[in-house]
Amino acid sequence: MSEAVAVRPIARTDHDAWLPLWEGYNRFYERTAAPEVTAMTWSRFFDAYEPVHALVAEADGAVVGIVHYIFHRNTSMIGPTCYLQDLFTAPAARGQGVGRALIEAVYDAARAAGASRVYWMTHETNRTAMRLYDQVAERPGFLQYRRNL
């Protein structure tokens, strides 16, 4: 990449660039998003009543990264909390500051929304991403438990 990374809100015209990154994210986590889930996820970005948001990172005129984040309430603070749900960069753009730029943009959006915390999860085997995450956030030590219903 010869150009600096620019992060902006996703636009409806980004669908064709977003889709391969979304599919790459799902492949990375060895999951399949059904077509109706992909369609609903996409539509939520443009629904003012949804707390789901998306940003894209561009470099050299191409979308090279995506991030999806959600605002929600919690029982430990008055303001909203921001959950950074999905972060993915094109393989050729890794190590170029794209992930960091997307995370920093989510921090900015969270501050603007009155949130005092941004958090996310990653798989314990995602060592490459964790090197970045350890630089831009703290690891609080919590483990996730879940049960699919």
How far apart are alpha carbons 76 and 108 in whole angstroms? 21
* pLDDT tens-place string over residues 66-106: 999 999 999 999 999 999 999 999 999 999 999 999 999 99
Does position 2 have pLDDT exceeding 60, yes or no? no
Angle formed by the axes of helices 35-44 and 15-28, nearest 10°: 120
pLDDT score for 42: 98
* pLDDT tens-place string over residues 95-136: 999 999 999 999 999 999 999 999 999 999 999 999 999 999
Question: Class of 6-136 per CATH?
Answer: alpha beta
Radius of gyration of the chain (CA): 15
- Length of the chain measured in residues: 149
Domain ranges of the chain: 6-136
94, 52 contact by CB (below 8 A): no
